[in-house]
């Protein structure tokens, strides 16, 4: 044994905090400074409207955002770009005021506001960009795969369509965040006591679901250096966009409304985002599981073996199958077209499974993404459930009341707790794990939407 190598083992391990800070670039420190300045401006400008808890949330968000930006570099550019666009929108609004604040009517006469960065314009751009991203991802996935070693997965050579799909997904996230932040500002300009963080109704939380799911996917895309899962994951985002478009038109949902009394709590600012990190990552895991099963069945020729994939694929396009007829009576044509497109997409995926399998990462990578997505989602869903109990105690006088929404949240939690237990304790892998994760999306979807449509209770303010 060469003893000269022994001292080197003493340097292995994670660097200390001082070493980590010393390696930060000038851009890292500039980003941190801008975050601190931005938070300071927000506190100076709006602290009179905040209670102690909200001030603590603002203070805690500073190190959290800096740490996330240092952990994943693209978040720095995303944060600065979104911040700049939001401040531009606020400045354009503030050029003319009315009796209470900024004159929101300027949104119809200023070019940039009307077509790009008012809240509704930005959110419409989000919808268009996410749909375009999905299309380009699938064009890239279905294009001819280059030759390579037998059994190799050709994920290292991203074609132009896949690159465009990724960039459009990033652009969609930017517009979603700009729309959300500008909507928050707009709500405070309408009248006293109207302003609130835009996470209070289905319109607002569907926007959050879209950008959160896309952003978590983009992290995995960069981490694993493959864009081959984009088509699968963006399908669920596009499904949410489809619901959002219908809901906006049919319910005039884009209008900013005052909060109902049950939602007038600072707990909402924590509970709802944590909940939707869970929903988004559970959906991401389900679509990765779908890709895993497609890859596994790539060489299957017996149609009855593929029938479960086809049927469950239709369930993933959940809206037409879970809505009651009464909910569709005024928009049956839209949902008929939606359902037809869903059938076409799922059929195309199954028919093109061999070509898709050649593009997908290895089963080990798919399994790892599935596991990490569920682990992150479970952690945040657990936090959201605990926060929800505290919120319930404040609003209704009890931590748990077996309300339908609470009961189904518990079912979702138990489902993924069991999945993680079986994986960590029993080594659950492969098709059973994937089917379970995919089936979990059906349970999660009912907890998210089905309860609002079919059941009543303390959460009836969320009814469609």
| pLDDT tens digits along 127-174 | 999 999 999 999 999 887 654 443 444 444 678 999 999 999 999 999
C-alpha distances in Å from residue 29, one per residue of 33, 67, 161? 6, 11, 35
C-alpha distances in Å from residue 294, one per residue of 96, 436, 456? 56, 15, 38
Q: What is the pLDDT along the chain (464 residues), one digit of tens a residue?
A: 444 444 444 444 455 666 677 788 999 999 999 999 999 988 998 887 777 877 888 899 999 999 999 999 999 999 999 999 999 999 999 888 877 788 888 788 899 999 999 999 999 999 999 999 999 999 999 887 654 443 444 444 678 999 999 999 999 999 999 999 999 999 988 887 788 889 988 899 999 999 999 999 999 999 999 999 999 999 999 999 988 998 898 888 899 988 887 788 888 889 999 999 999 999 999 999 999 999 988 877 676 666 666 666 565 555 444 544 445 556 667 777 777 788 788 888 888 888 899 999 999 999 999 999 999 999 999 999 999 999 888 877 888 888 888 899 999 999 999 999 999 999 999 999 999 999 898 899 888 887 777 766 556 555 55
CB-CB contact of 254 with 332 (8 Å): no
Dihedral in degrees, nearest 10, Cα atoms 202, 204, 205, 206 = 80
Give me the pLDDT at residue 315, please: 59
The neighbouring-strand residues paired with 102 are: 97
CB-CB contact of 191 with 100 (8 Å): yes
Buried b (16+ CB within 10 A) or exposed e, 239-255: bbbbbbebbbeeeebbe
Give me the pLDDT at residue 151, please: 40
The Cα–Cα gap between 231 and 34 comes to: 35
Buried b (16+ CB within 10 A) or exposed e, 69-96: bbeeeebbebbbebbebbebbbebbeee
Give me the pLDDT at residue 305, please: 67
Q: Is 23 exposed, middle or buried (0-12, 13-18, 19+ CB in 10 A)?
A: exposed
C-alpha distances in Å from residue 277, one per residue of 44, 83, 149, 273? 30, 21, 39, 6
Give me the pLDDT at residue 190, please: 87
C-alpha distances in Å from residue 380, one per residue of 64, 270, 366, 406, 458? 15, 11, 21, 16, 23
How far apart, in Å, do the first and last CA atoms of the chain sit? 71
Give me the pLDDT at residue 259, please: 87
C-alpha distances in Å from residue 254, one per residue of 200, 201, 417, 459? 12, 10, 36, 21
| Domain locations in the chain as residue ranges | 260-296+347-464
Give me the pLDDT at residue 51, please: 75
Give me the pLDDT at residue 460, please: 57
Q: 210: closest CA among 129, 136, 116? A: 129
The Cα–Cα gap between 292 and 290 comes to: 5
The Cα–Cα gap between 3 and 6 comes to: 5
Backbone phi, psi, residue 201, to 5°: -145, 175
How confident is the model over 405-445, as pLDDT tens digits? 889 999 999 999 999 999 999 999 999 999 999 989 889 98
CB-CB contact of 385 with 409 (8 Å): yes
Task: Report the SS3 class of residue 97.
Answer: strand
The neighbouring-strand residues paired with 97 are: 102
């Amino acid at each position: 044994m060469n003893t000269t190598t022994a001292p080197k083992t003493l340097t292995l391990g994670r660097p200390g905090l001082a070493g980590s800070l010393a390696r930060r670039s000038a851009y890292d420190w500039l980003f941190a400074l801008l975050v601190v300045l931005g938070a300071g401006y927000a506190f100076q400008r709006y602290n009179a409207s905040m209670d102690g808890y909200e001030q603590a949330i603002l203070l805690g968000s500073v190190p959290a955002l800096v740490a996330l930006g240092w952990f994943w570099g693209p978040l720095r550019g995303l944060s600065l770009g979104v911040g700049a666009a939001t401040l531009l929108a606020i400045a354009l609004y503030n050029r003319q005021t009315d009796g209470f604040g900024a004159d929101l009517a300027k949104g119809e006469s200023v070019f940039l506001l009307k077509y790009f960065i008012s809240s509704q314009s930005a959110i419409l751009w989000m919808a268009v960009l996410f749909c375009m991203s999905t299309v380009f991802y699938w064009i890239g996935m279905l294009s001819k795969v280059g030759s390579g070693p037998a059994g190799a997965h050709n994920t290292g050579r991203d074609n132009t369509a896949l690159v465009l799909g990724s960039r459009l997904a990033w652009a969609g996230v930017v517009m979603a965040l700009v729309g959300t932040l500008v909507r928050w500002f707009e709500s405070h300009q309408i009248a006293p006591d109207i302003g609130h963080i835009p996470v209070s109704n289905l319109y607002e939380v569907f926007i959050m679901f879209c950008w959160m799911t896309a952003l978590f996917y983009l992290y995995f895309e960069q981490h694993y250096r493959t864009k081959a899962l984009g088509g699968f994951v963006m399908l669920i985002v596009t499904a949410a966009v489809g619901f959002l478009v219908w809901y906006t038109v049919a319910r005039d949902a884009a209008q900013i409304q005052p909060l109902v009394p049950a939602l007038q709590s600072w707990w909402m600012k924590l509970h709802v985002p944590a909940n939707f990190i869970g929903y988004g990552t559970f959906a991401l895991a389900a679509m990765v599981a779908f890709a895993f099963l497609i890859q596994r069945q790539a060489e299957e020729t017996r149609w009855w073996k593929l029938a479960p994939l086809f049927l469950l694929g239709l369930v993933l396009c959940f809206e037409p199958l879970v809505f009651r007829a009464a909910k569709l009576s005024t928009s049956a044509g839209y949902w008929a077209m939606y359902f037809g497109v869903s059938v076409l997409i799922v059929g195309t995926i199954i028919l093109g499974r061999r070509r898709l399998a050649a593009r997908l990462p290895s089963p080990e990578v798919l399994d790892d993404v599935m596991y990490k997505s569920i682990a992150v989602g479970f952690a945040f869903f657990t936090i959201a459930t605990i926060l929800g109990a505290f919120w319930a105690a404040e609003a209704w006088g009890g931590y748990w009341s077996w309300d339908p929404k609470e009961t189904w949240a518990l079912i979702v939690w138990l489902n993924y707790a069991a999945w993680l237990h079986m994986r960590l304790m029993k080594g659950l892998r492969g098709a059973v794990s994937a089917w379970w994760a995919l089936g979990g999306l059906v349970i999660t979807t009912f907890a998210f939407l089905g309860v609002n449509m079919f059941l009543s209770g303390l959460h009836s303010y969320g009814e469609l």
